[in-house]
Structure formats: structure tokens, C-alpha cells
Amino acid sequence: MRDWMTIRNRYLRDKLPTRLGGLAANLARIRSFSDHPDHRAVVEGLIEESKFFIEWTAADAEVSTAAELVELQVQLARWQRNWASIWADAMQRKQVAEQAYHWSKRVLKMSGLLQ
């Protein structure tokens, strides 16, 4: 069982751009770990953690950024709800991986860390 309070306290020490960068990194990890069937638990954990990152970050973001983060959080929840069937189907898993990568690039752009 993860200690979410400790993770939250550590995560909130960073400035908003760094937090968004961490979320983008998680999404990129979802893509990279989705290529192997044995990584199911790792990807599930990354999805769960990413949902928390959004919860802890959206309130500090501009309205437009917060709205996009909420949209992403809903997508992550959809994946969780259908996770067994997604993971069992290599094509669905690949689609999730590509969507996660797309979101990763989007969140990284929102962070401003590339400027």
C-alpha cells in the first residue's frame, strides 16, 4: 500500500511547472511500460498516481490548464474502469499507450519547461 500523504507532501513542494513535468513523465512511462504484458501492475500504478497528481495540481493551475487536466483525469478513470479488457487486448493497449504519449506531450507543453 502506498503512502499517498507522504507522496502528496513531497509532490506539492515542487512548483507547478515541475509538478506538470512529473505528470508528463508518468504518462510517458505508461507508454513505455505498456509494450510488455508483464507490466500491467506498473501501468495500473502509474495511472492511479497520475490521477492523484492531477487532483493535487489542478487547483493551482490556470483555469484552462485545470480544465485540460480534468479532461485527462476523466480519461485515466475510463482506462481504469475498463483496464482488464484493455490490457488483455494488444491493440487496445497500444491505443492507450499512444493516447498517454499524446497527453504526455500536451502536459509537458502546458508546463512551460521546454521554453
pLDDT mean values, one per 10 residues, the chain (115 residues): 92 97 98 95 97 96 97 97 95 97 97 91
Q: How many C-beta atoms lie closer than 10 Å to residue 28's C-beta? A: 19
Q: Could you tell me if residue 12 is inside a domain?
A: no
Q: DSSP alpha helices (H): ranges in the chain?
A: 4-11, 16-33, 40-58, 63-81, 83-88, 90-111
Q: Is residue 56 part of a domain?
A: yes
pLDDT at 2: 87
Q: Which three cell numbers stand for residue 63?
A: 483555469
Say if 79 falls within a structural domain. yes
| pLDDT value at residue 60 | 96
Determine the Cα–Cα distance for residues 96 and 90; give it in Å rounded to an integer: 10
The answer to the question of residue 100 being in a domain is: yes
Within a domain: 78: yes
Q: What is the pLDDT of residue 1?
A: 77
In a domain, 1, yes or no: no
> By residue range, what is the domain housing residue 59?
22-111
pLDDT at site 79:
97
**Count of domains in the chain?**
1
Residues in CB range of 114: below 8 A, 6 or more apart = 108
Instruction: Please tell me the predicted confidence (pLDDT) of residue 104.
Output: 98
Does residue 85 fall inside a structural domain? Answer: yes
Angle between helices 40-58 and 4-11 (to 10 degrees): 50
Q: Say if 14 falls within a structural domain.
A: no
Is residue 54 exposed (0-12), middle (13-18) or buried (19+ Cβ within 10 Å)? buried
**How far is residue 62's CA from residue 48's CA, in Å, rounded to a whole number?**
23
